[in-house]
Amino acid sequence: MPLKLTLKPGEKFVLNGGVLINGDRRADLIIENQVSLLRERDVLQPIEANTPVKRIYFSIMMMYLDGGLESGHYNDFTETMTDFMSLLTTESALKKCQHILDEVHEQRFYTALMTCKSLLPFEKERLEYVVQ
């Protein structure tokens, strides 16, 4: 099933590791085969990976863009995920982490990214509590 991608003027996206920028008009792209694609809003820069969940997200993103579990990013992912899960006591967060692990091992990286993204509010709430 093709993927229709509607881009805003000047919107950036990553397609199979290459950064592309839309021109000055809204555009529709139809992707007919399997690709690694991330919109600019879903791309995390290395300097932004400054919390455990963001580091997990970054590792998954890099596996997605670099072609899988063979990259060194898998080791970063497993180490950070293990440390993060060892601190959790909330069942819902642990279930999300288990879902992320399952998705990564099945190389469904995009789904793992979106589940990981859903952990960001949980982490932010916990970090704000610790800082106060």
Q: pTM (2 decimals)?
A: 0.89
Strand partners, 7: 27
Kindly state whether residues 82 and 116 are assigned to the same domain. Answer: yes
Residue 13's closest CA among 39, 41, 42? 39
Tell me: the pLDDT tens digits for 28-47?
989 998 888 999 999 999 99
Domain contains 79:
yes
Whether 117 and 52 map to the same domain: the answer is yes
Domain that holds residue 37: 3-41
pLDDT in tens, 48-69: 999 999 999 999 999 999 877 7
Per the structure, the count of domains in the chain is 2
Question: Does one domain contain both 93 and 119?
Answer: yes
